[in-house]
Amino acid sequence: MGRNWGNTFIVAGLFALLLGAVIISFGLGRYPIPLREVLGIALSKIYPLGQFWTDRTETVLLQIRFPRIILACLVGACLSATGAAYQGVFQNPMAAPDILGASAGAAFGAALAILNHGRSFTITVSAFFFSLLTVSLVYFFSRRIKGKSILGLILSGIVVGSLFSAATSLVKLVADPTDQLPAIIYWLMGSLAGVGNSDIRFAIIPMILGLAPLLLLRWRMNVLTMGDDESRAMGINVHRIRFLVIICSTLATAAGVAVSGMVGWVGLVIPHVARKIVGNNYLHLLPASILCGAIFLLLVDNVSRNLLAVEIPLGILTAFIGAPFFIYLITRRGEYS
Amino acid sequence: MNKNKHKLVLLAGITCLALALLTAAGCTGDPAGEPDGARETVTFTDSAGREVEIPAEISRVVPSGTMAQIVLFALAPDKLAGLSERWSPAAGEYLDEKYRELPVLGQFYGGKGNHNLEEIARVDPQLIIDVGEPKPSIAEDMDGISEKVDIPAVHISATMETMGDAYRTLGELLGMADEGAVLADYCDEVYRRTREISEEVGAEGKKRLLYCSGDNGLNVITAGSFHAEIVDLVGDNVAVVEEAAGKGTDNPVDLEQIALWDPEVIIFAPGSIYSTVAGEKSWRELTAVKEGRYYEVPAGPYNWMGFPPSVNRFMGMIWLSELLYPDLAGYDGYKEAARYYKLFYHCELAEGQYRELVARSLLKDQ
């Protein structure tokens, strides 16, 4: 019991940390806005206040910085939560949100929309639906594979995923090299540059529809990690729970990837960080993963938008930070051997 | 439990450190210039049919991409408040130092790009200008930028054919009608002359031409693509492929296909295999290589044939016409290049520089 209370305390601490990071992030940006004006603009939304900032400042804060900060948190939370959930239901520590082809499908959808001169909202919607379509295909095929259902899912994930990757390459081949091709490449590198409030409005519903049930299924995920036979022995309908987790995770991942592009490593690394902090019990692991993912992507996106005058794609930074960190984690004494 | 607490403290420490570093990095520098306040504005209708409120007098603009950057640099180099892409290293030889030090803001591509919106707001231009082919999404893209940075953005449509009109519009927009007209007339004139030459040569007389790029020379520009406009217009582009095989540039092909096309003339992109091709057994057997009719596209500061497909292509039209049909075109290469560099890059092109630029094409046999 003591450990549980400790973990609850840690999760609360992470939440406070996230809040603090969000507040400080609002003061960061290439366009200098003093914290005083940030607070003023925030307060003026609930309390009439004399305007002591310029209109430009308010626009930059509300139209550029606000959506980016919120989406960085949301995308980080979604990718990390689905990574944690998949690692549980596939009983595999190397599982990541893209294991069932969600990212490969989204990439194809985005590339296709860019090829057809889609506007940025069309690109997001297309990425989202192709992501859902890909995972549905994977699930459909896996049901027809005899034998172990986990293996079937992962195998058809690999096959369908590489099929969509090839299709994306084909789109890149036929795309215009000075305009569409760089747009596709930037999308594949992942970035929150240019996201707006409309992206939040689009992504928030599927994200909540995905994350909330995952949080409610925490206890059952704990059981699933023990293996299919054990779970059945405990009276759990393994297929139904796994199906539910996959649906929810796919919704959350698809919405996240659709607005951010391909951001790797968050879904694989952050759940392991969370494991180090709160242990393997999903009761705390899932909330901790969500919070750590949000904090991590928020920090990385801060670097992405502040370090240079031009944006550094997010996917590059997450890999540069994520990969060495992951090596550090797995080479530390003992735990994965 | 104790161990966990330590980790949390460590995590919190790292977070604070990272944020502190960022605060230090992010808050240096003040926004450039004063807010414009209630200055006079006019309504401008751009090529996408959008009515945009813009300041009556414009002295600070930023381009949306490299295409616009080159077009605007020719007209109003001193009004550029930022670049979308650093000038190529070769530009040092031609462009004035002050233009090379402008802040780089990244390029806007419709979906995601590397443009940093806050940096654009900080540089504080009065207007964001996009120049290029009209895309279906352009109105919404321009509105999107405008809304986010509170700076008007306009789109000016321009293709090779309509570049003259684009310069007239830009001249009017920036209060530089005379300068705009000079560039517009130049573009119209060069395009008209190129068409005339092409018509005089006739479909039968056109040289069978192939443009190769890539570090093995095996990428070609296919007929009918946007980037092949000059190759298609001046020469007879042999790289005809089926729609499904991909349209654009850098389409990979193999040498057998090139041998099958058997072009009379091959032009290589800068940095491709021009200098080594004569020694390559497999290439040596091609008619164009065997007979020495292969050349390299001049580059400086930009490739004369495109990439980006901006006004640098007008120099390419002159060059290719002169290269393929010298008797018909009758251009004075140096005079034309010097005129072009004066108009578009604002520099005096020395004869030595010109000879260097065309040493591997027009002056190859000398």
Q: What is the pLDDT of residues B212-262, one digit of tens each?
A: 988 888 888 888 877 888 999 999 988 887 664 455 556 778 888 898 899
Q: Say if B210 falls within a structural domain.
A: yes
Q: Which residue has the tokens 């600070």?
A: B60
Strands (E), B24-106: 41-45, 51-55, 61-63
**Tokens at residue B310, please?**
């901006």
Q: Are residues B207 and B90 in the same domain?
A: no
Q: Distance between CA A246 and CA A89 in Å, rounded? A: 9
Q: Are residues B217 and B334 in the same domain?
A: yes
Q: Say if B234 falls within a structural domain.
A: yes
Q: Are residues B219 and B121 in the same domain?
A: no
Do B111 and A187 make contact, defined as CB atoms within 8 angstroms?
Answer: yes
**Tokens at residue B112, please?**
């995601």
What's the domain count of chain B?
2
For the entire predicted model, the pTM comes to: 0.79
Do B116 and A181 make contact, defined as CB atoms within 8 angstroms?
Answer: no
pLDDT under 70 in chain B at which residues? 1-39, 110-111, 242-250, 366
Please name the CATH architecture into which domain A2-331 falls.
Orthogonal Bundle (1.10)
Tell me which residues of chain A, numbers 234 to 273, contact chain B at a CB-CB cutoff of 8 Å: 261
pLDDT by residue for chain A (337 residues), tens only, comes to: 445 678 888 889 999 999 999 988 988 888 888 888 888 888 888 887 777 888 888 888 888 889 999 999 999 999 999 999 999 888 888 888 888 988 999 999 999 998 888 778 888 899 999 999 999 999 888 888 877 778 888 889 999 999 999 999 998 888 877 778 888 888 888 888 878 888 899 999 999 999 999 999 888 888 888 887 888 888 888 888 888 999 999 999 999 999 998 888 899 889 988 988 888 888 889 999 999 999 999 999 999 888 887 788 888 889 888 888 878 877 775 554 3
Instruction: Describe the strand order of the beta sheet including B61-63 as a list of residue ranges.
Output: B61-63, B127-132, B153-157
Q: What is the CATH number of the domain that holds B71?
A: 3.40.50.1980
Burial class (CB in 10 A: 0-12, 13-18, 19+), B51: exposed
Calculate Rg over the CA atoms of chain B. 24
Interface check B150 vs A, CB under 8 A = yes
Omega of the bond prior to B308 within 30 degrees of 0, cis? yes
Q: Distance between CA A82 and CA A214 in Å, rounded? A: 8
pLDDT digits (tens, 9 = 90+) for A286-298: 999 999 999 999 9
For A262, the closest chain B residue by CA position comes to B112
Pairing of strands B208-213, B153-157: unpaired
- Residue B115's domain comprises 41-183
- Any alpha helices (H) in chain B, and if so which ranges? 2-26, 66-75, 97-100, 117-123, 138-149, 163-173, 177-205, 229-234, 255-261, 281-284, 287-290, 312-324, 326-329, 333-345, 351-357
Letter string b/e over residues A140-164, b meaning 16 or more CB atoms within 10 A of that residue's CB = ebbeeeeeeebebbbebbeebbebb
Where does a domain end: B183, B211, B232? Answer: B183
Q: Are residues B129 and B218 in the same domain?
A: no
DSSP string, B226-269: GGGHHHHHHSEE-----GGG--SS-EE--HHHHHHH--SEEEEP
User: In angstroms, how far is the first alpha carbon of chain B from the final one?
Assistant: 82
Q: Which strand (E) or helix (H) includes residue B153?
A: strand B153-157
The C-alpha angle B262, B266, B271, rounded to 5 degrees, equals 135
B42-45 contacts, C-beta under 8 A, 24 or more apart: B44/B154, B44/B173
Q: Are residues B267 and B225 in the same domain?
A: yes
Q: Are residues B353 and B221 in the same domain?
A: yes
Other Cβ atoms within 10 Å of A180 Cβ, number: 23
Q: Say if B1 falls within a structural domain.
A: no
CA torsion B191-B197-B200-B205 (nearest 10°) is -120
Q: Say if B190 falls within a structural domain.
A: no
To test the contact with chain A by mutation, choose from B1, B83, B117 the residue with the greatest count of A C-beta atoms within 10 A, namely B117
DSSP tag of A122: H
Q: Are residues B177 and B49 in the same domain?
A: yes
Do A119 and B137 make contact, defined as CB atoms within 8 angstroms?
Answer: yes
Q: Distance between CA A214 and CA A8 in Å, rounded? A: 18
Length reported for chain A: 337
Q: Say if B340 falls within a structural domain.
A: yes
Q: Say if B259 falls within a structural domain.
A: yes
pLDDT digits (tens, 9 = 90+) for B66-115: 889 999 999 999 999 999 888 888 888 899 888 888 998 888 876 677 78
Q: Say if B68 falls within a structural domain.
A: yes
Tell me which residues of chain B, numbers 60 to 79, contact chain A at a CB-CB cutoff of 8 Å: 67
pLDDT at position A250 is 92
Do B117 and A64 make contact, defined as CB atoms within 8 angstroms?
Answer: yes
pLDDT at position B60 is 94
pLDDT at position B4 is 54
Beta carbons of A232 and A239 less than 8 angstroms apart: no
Where does a domain end: B183, B212, B231? Answer: B183
Q: Are residues B347 and B218 in the same domain?
A: yes
Q: Distance between CA B144 and CA B146 in Å, rounded? A: 6
Pairing of strands B41-45, B51-55: antiparallel
pLDDT at position A161 is 93
pLDDT at position A134 is 93
Interface check A54 vs B, CB under 8 A = yes
Q: Say if B106 falls within a structural domain.
A: yes
Q: Are residues B214 and B347 in the same domain?
A: yes
Report the complex ipTM. 0.74
Question: B114, B153, B130, B111: which is closest to A199 by C-alpha?
Answer: B111
Where does a domain end: B135, B151, B183? Answer: B183
